[in-house]
C-alpha cells in the first residue's frame, strides 16, 4: 500500500477527524521545493518561505498532568512527534491545519501513523468551520480538560503566519468561554430548575404536541422580534407585515408589541426567576390569540395564569429533558433548539416549525449609542435605575458591528451571538438580519426591514391560531406521569445511599505528611473509587444535568493534580473527591425529596 492510501486509511478510521474539501486555489498556488542550500521551501503568491521542523524550546508541557493541547500546523511532523513524546499519556491532542496546501502536501509525503498511535484528532478545514468542530468535540470527555489547555505553534505558523494563529486561538477561546457558560450553572441553580420542572409537570398534558409542530408552518416568513435598542427605528413597520408573516416575540418586548396593535403569534420565555413573571406576565392581559412557548423550567405562575394556548418544548441535548422524555416514553421529536436566551427560544421555534426565511429584528447583541442604551423603549428597561444596577458591574468590549467598524458588547451577548452563528451554520438556515444595528451576526444575510417586506411579505398567511386548532396535545395522561415519578423516586433513593457509603469510605482515610507510601497507595485506591460515581452521574441524564457543574469542576481540579503519589497530592485528591461526594449527597437528597413531593401532588 502506498503512503497516500495508508494515510487515508489512518484518517478514515476515526470519525472525530474533520477533513474539508481542499481550496483548489490554495493548493495550486502553493509550490513546495528545495532551495540551493537544501532547505525545503514554500513558494506562494511570489513569496518564499523556508520550512523547518524545529521544535519550540520555549514550550512547556507537564507530562504529569492531563492537558488538552492544540497544535497549529501539520506540516512539521517531527515537531509533533517530539510533542507527543513530551506530553502525558492521558493528555489529548488536537491538530489544526487551516491551509489546504499544507494538508495536501503532508497527506502525500509524510507518514501520519503518529495521529493514530497518539489518538490525536485532526481538523483540516476552513477556519470558519472550526467553531462547529469544537462544539462537537467538547461534547466528549474533552470538556473535562478546559482548564488545562495548551497551545503549540509549529515552525511555519509561529514564524510566518501569526495572524492565522491568532484567529484560531481567538475562536478556541470564544467556544471554550461559551461552553463554560453552558455548563456553568451551580448545582443549586440546577435544582431550582428541577423544582420548577416538577411543579410544571401537570401542565405538560395540556401543551400542544411539539412533535406535530415540526414543519407545520414550512416556508412561511417568520420575524423573530427581540428587544435590542435598534428596534425603536423599525418596530412601526411591523404593522404592515403582521398578517403577512409570523411574529415570534421574546417576553421582554411582547407587551409593547400588543400596545402597538401587533399581536405576537408566539411569546417566548426561558428564565426561571420570579422576576420574569413579575416583569413580563403578572398583571398583563395578553390576547388569547398569542401562544406561550417555554420549557418546564419557567416560574410556575407563568403557566398557571397565561390565557392562551401553551407549547412546552423539550430542550435538545440537555440531560434533564432527555431523562424526562425517557421516563415518560416520549420517542418523537419533542425538542427545539433553546440555547441560552428567550431570543434563542424564539429562533428555535421558527426553525422547528419550518419557517423560512427567519428574520431577526431587535437582535442587537450590543449597546446602542451609549452604555445606558441596552434595550428598546416600552420595556421594563426604561427604568434606568434598574438598567444601571444590572449592567454596572458588566465589562464591555468591542466586536464587529452590523454596519462595519466596532460596537460595544458584553461577554454574555457575545455568547448569544456565537450560539446563533453555530445554529445557522449547522442547520443551513436562511436567516436575514434586519436589525439595522448592533453586532454583526455571521452566516446571515443583511437586509433592511423595508427590503424584507418587499421581497418576502406580500401575501397574507394563515393565522397561527387556526393552524394550532389542528395540532393535538401531548400523548400523556396524569396517572402515567405519576407512576413514572414514583419509580424514579425509588431509583434515586438507592443511588443516594451508594453516594453516602462512598463518602463515608473517603472520610475514613486519615492521611498526613508523615504517611508511608504503602498507606498513601492504599488510601488512594479507596479514594479513586469515586471515579465509579462520576460514571454513575454520566449514566443518568438527570444527575448529569444537576451535578455536571460540580462534577466538571471536580474533574478539572483532579486533572490539575500531578500523577505522583505523595502526601500532598493524595490529600488534595481526597479533598476534591470528598467535595464532589458531599455535593452529590446533597443534590440526591433534594432530588429524592422533590420527586416524592411531585408524586404526591400529581
Mean pLDDT, the chain cut into blocks of 10 residues (602 residues total): 86 90 66 73 73 86 88 92 91 92 86 89 91 85 84 91 89 82 72 94 95 96 93 90 95 92 95 89 92 95 94 88 93 88 95 97 82 50 46 71 91 89 93 95 95 95 94 94 96 97 94 90 91 90 87 81 88 91 95 96 90
* Rounded Cα–Cα distance for residues 602 and 598 (Å): 6
Is residue 153 within 8 Å of 167, Cβ to Cβ? no
Is residue 220 within 8 Å of 245, Cβ to Cβ? yes
**Distance, first Cα to last Cα, the chain:** 66
Q: What is the pLDDT of residue 143?
A: 81
Residue ranges in 329-395 assigned as alpha helix (H): 342-352, 384-391
User: Which helix (H) or strand (E) covers residue 406, if one does?
Assistant: strand 406-410
Q: What is the pLDDT of residue 296?
A: 95
Q: What is the pLDDT of residue 327?
A: 95
Cell numbers linked to 469: 386548532
* Rounded Cα–Cα distance for residues 292 and 591 (Å): 28
Q: What is the pLDDT of residue 377?
A: 46
514 to 14, 31, 251, 526, 586: CA distances (angstroms): 47, 64, 61, 19, 33
Amino acid at each position: 500500500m502506498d503512503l497516500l492510501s495508508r494515510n487515508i486509511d489512518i484518517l478514515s478510521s476515526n470519525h472525530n477527524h474533520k477533513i474539508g474539501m481542499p481550496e483548489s486555489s490554495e493548493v495550486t498556488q502553493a509550490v513546495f521545493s528545495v532551495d540551493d542550500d537544501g532547505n525545503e521551501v514554500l513558494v506562494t503568491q511570489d513569496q518564499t518561505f523556508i520550512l523547518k521542523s524545529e521544535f519550540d524550546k520555549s514550550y512547556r508541557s507537564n507530562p504529569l498532568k492531563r492537558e488538552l493541547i492544540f497544535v497549529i500546523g501539520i506540516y512539521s511532523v517531527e515537531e509533533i512527534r517530539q510533542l507527543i513524546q513530551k506530553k502525558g499519556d492521558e493528555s489529548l491532542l488536537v491538530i489544526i491545519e487551516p491551509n489546504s496546501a499544507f494538508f495536501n502536501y503532508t497527506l502525500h509525503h509524510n507518514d501520519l501513523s503518529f495521529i493514530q498511535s497518539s489518538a490525536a484528532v485532526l481538523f483540516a478545514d476552513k477556519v470558519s468551520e472550526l467553531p462547529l468542530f469544537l462544539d462537537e468535540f467538547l461534547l466528549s470527555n474533552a470538556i473535562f480538560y478546559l482548564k488545562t489547555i495548551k497551545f503549540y505553534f509549529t515552525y511555519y505558523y509561529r514564524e510566518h503566519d501569526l495572524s492565522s494563529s491568532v484567529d484560531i486561538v481567538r475562536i478556541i477561546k470564544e467556544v471554550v468561554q461559551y461552553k463554560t457558560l453552558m455548563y456553568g450553572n451551580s448545582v443549586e441553580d440546577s435544582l431550582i430548575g428541577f423544582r420548577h420542572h416538577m411543579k410544571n409537570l401537570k401542565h405538560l398534558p395540556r401543551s400542544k404536541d411539539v412533535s406535530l409542530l415540526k414543519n407545520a408552518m414550512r416556508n412561511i416568513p417568520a420575524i423573530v422580534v427581540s428587544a435590542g435598542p435598534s428596534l425603536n427605528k423599525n418596530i412601526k413597520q411591523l404593522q404592515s407585515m403582521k398578517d403577512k408573516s409570523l411574529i415570534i416575540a421574546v417576553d421582554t418586548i411582547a407587551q409593547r408589541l400588543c400596545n402597538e396593535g401587533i399581536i405576537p403569534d408566539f411569546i417566548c420565555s426561558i428564565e426561571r426567576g420570579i422576576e420574569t413573571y413579575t416583569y413580563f406576565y403578572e398583571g398583563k392581559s395578553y390576547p388569547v390569540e398569542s401562544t406561550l412557548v417555554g420549557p418546564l423550567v419557567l416560574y410556575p405562575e407563568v403557566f398557571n395564569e397565561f390565557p392562551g394556548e401553551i407549547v412546552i418544548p423539550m430542550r435538545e441535548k440537555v440531560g434533564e429533558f432527555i431523562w424526562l422524555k425517557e421516563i415518560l416514553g416520549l420517542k418523537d421529536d419533542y425538542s427545539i433548539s433553546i440555547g441560552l436566551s428567550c431570543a434563542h427560544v424564539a429562533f428555535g421555534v421558527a426553525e422547528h416549525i419550518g419557517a423560512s426565511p427567519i428574520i431577526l429584528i431587535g437582535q442587537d447583541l450590543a449597546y446602542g449609542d451609549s452604555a445606558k442604551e441596552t434595550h428598546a423603549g416600552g420595556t421594563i428597561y426604561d427604568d434606568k435605575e434598574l438598567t444601571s444596577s444590572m449592567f454596572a458591574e458588566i465589562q464591555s468590549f468591542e466586536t464587529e458591528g452590523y454596519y462595519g467598524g466596532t460596537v460595544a458588547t458584553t461577554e454574555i451577548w457575545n455568547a448569544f451571538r456565537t450560539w446563533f452563528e453555530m445554529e445557522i451554520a449547522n442547520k443551513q438556515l436562511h436567516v436575514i438580519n434586519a436589525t439595522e444595528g448592533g453586532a454583526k451576526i455571521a452566516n446571515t444575510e443583511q437586509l433592511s426591514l423595508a427590503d424584507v417586506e418587499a421581497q418576502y411579505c406580500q401575501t397574507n398567511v394563515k393565522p397561527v391560531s387556526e393552524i394550532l386548532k389542528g395540532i393535538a396535545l401531548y400523548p400523556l395522561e396524569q396517572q402515567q406521569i405519576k407512576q413514572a415519578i414514583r419509580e424514579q423516586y425509588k431509583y434515586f433513593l438507592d443511588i443516594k445511599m451508594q453516594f453516602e457509603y462512598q463518602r463515608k469510605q473517603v472520610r475514613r482515610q486519615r492521611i498526613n505528611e508523615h504517611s508511608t507510601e504503602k498507606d498513601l497507595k492504599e488510601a488512594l485506591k479507596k479514594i479513586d473509587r469515586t471515579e465509579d460515581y462520576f460514571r454513575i452521574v454520566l449514566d443518568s441524564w438527570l444527575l448529569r444535568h444537576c451535578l455536571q457543574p460540580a462534577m466538571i469542576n471536580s474533574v478539572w481540579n483532579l486533572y490539575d493534580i500531578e500523577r505522583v503519589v505523595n502526601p500532598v497530592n493524595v490529600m488534595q485528591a481526597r479533598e476534591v473527591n470528598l467535595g464532589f461526594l458531599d455535593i452529590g449527597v446533597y443534590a440526591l437528597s433534594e432530588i429524592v425529596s422533590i420527586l416524592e413531593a411531585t408524586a404526591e401532588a400529581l
